[in-house]
Structure 1
Amino acid sequence: MRIDIWSDVVCPWCYIGKRRMETALSRFEHADDVEVHWHSFQLDPSHPKGRRTPSFEVLSRKTGAPPAQIRAMTGQVTELAAAEGLAYDLEGAVSVNTVDAHRVGHLAAERGLGDAMHERLLRAHLCEGELVDDADTLARLGAEVGLPEEDTRKVLAGGAYQDAVAQDIADARRYGATGVPFFVINRAYGISGAQSSDTFLSALRTAHADLARK
C-alpha cells in the first residue's frame, strides 16, 4: 500500500494531520506493508523569497482580524496540536517562502530520509521559531536527520529539485487539492485536511480490502 501526502512545512494543520495519520498507522493491521511518500505544496507561493514576516502579522493582514482575535484562533490550533503531543509556538513562527525547504525535502527523500526531514522542518517552524528559508539553518536541520551538510548546501546554491517541487504542486492540483494536508491512499482514495485518526484508519482498511479483492 502507498500513501502520498502533500504538505507545506509551515502548515500547522499538516503537522496535526501527520500525527493523526501516524496514530492510524499504529492501529492498522497491515502497517508494515505501507509506504509513505511526501510531496511539496506551498500555501503561499507568492511570498517573496528572502522576506521574513511574523506569522501573526501575516494572518492579521490576510484575515483583517485584530491581534487578540488572531491569538485566540491560533490558541485553538495550539490546543489541538497539544492533544497530538505537539508543542506549538505559533506566536514565534516566522513566515517565509518554503521552496528551498521543499528542495531539501526532495534531496532527503532520495536518501530515504523524506519522513524524518519533513518532521524536522515542521517542528523547526511550528515549535521552535526557526527560519526554514535560511541556508545555514536548512543545512543544520538536514545534518540532524542524516544529510551530509555539503550536499544540502550544494542543492541550495543551485536550482536542484525546483522542477520536482513544481511537479508535486501540479500533481496536487490534478487531484483537486486546493490546500493541505492532502492524502491519497493507493492513488485512489483522497482525504483532505487533518481528519481524525479514526477516519484515516477507516480509509486505510477500505483501501486494503479493495486491494485484496483485485
Structure 2
Amino acid sequence: MSDTQSETRNALTVAVVDDQELERTGIALILDSADDITVIAEAATGEEAIPILIERQPDIVIMDIRMPGMGGIEATKIISERIPNTKTIVLTTFDLDEYAFGSLRAGASAFLLKSTKPEALIDAVRTVATGAAVVDPRLTAKLIDHYVTSHRTGDDALGDSEHALALAELTRRETDVLIEIGRGHTNEEISTKLHLAESTVKSHINSIFAKLHLRDRVHAVILARETWPNL
C-alpha cells in the first residue's frame, strides 16, 4: 500500500451538507486541505443527504441548518438515531439562531458560526472525532443558558426524579468533575482544580457519559446546569 493510500485510509471522513453550492464547495476545499481529513460526500438537502450518509457512514457531517425541504435539525436527528457513530457539526449564521438550539436536542456535537476561521473548522472536526464537543465561544453561554431556561420542564428535559436517579449513580469524584464541566472548565483546568491527573479526569468523564447516557460534553454541561442552576 502506498503512503498516500495509507493516509487516505487513516483520514477522518467527512460529508458536507449545505444548499449553497459555493459554501459547500468552500467548506469541502478547506477540509480537504488538511492531511488527516477527507471529504467523501456532499449534499444540498437533508433528503439528499440521508441515504448517502447511511451508505457512506462518514465520521463527521458538516450540517447547514437552513435548507429547503428537510432542514438541518431533522437531518441531525435522523443521523443521531440511524448512524450513531457519525457525529454532526452544525453551522449557523447567527449567534442567536433558534435553529441551533433545536439541533442541540437533535444530537449535534458541535456548533460553529459560518464566520469561523478555516483552521478552527478543521480543529473542530478533529476534536469532535475524539468524542469531545465544540461550541463557538460566541455561542457557548447564550446557547446553553437559553436551552436550560427554555427546556427545564416537559419532554425535552429529564424530570427531577429521573435526574436524581441518574446522578445517584455517580461517585463523589465524578459528581465533582461533572460540576466543573458545567462551569465550562477544560480537562486540564479540572485536573488542576481537583488535584487529579488529566488521565484520571478523562476516565471520570467517560464514566459520567456512560452512566448518564450523554453523547458529549455539550450535553454534560446542559445536565450540570439543569441540576445546579447557580453554576
Q: TM-score over 0.5 for the alignment?
A: no
The TM-score with structure 1 as length reference comes to 0.23
TM-score under structure 2 length normalisation: 0.22
Q: Which has the higher contact order (CA 8 A, sep 6+)?
A: 1
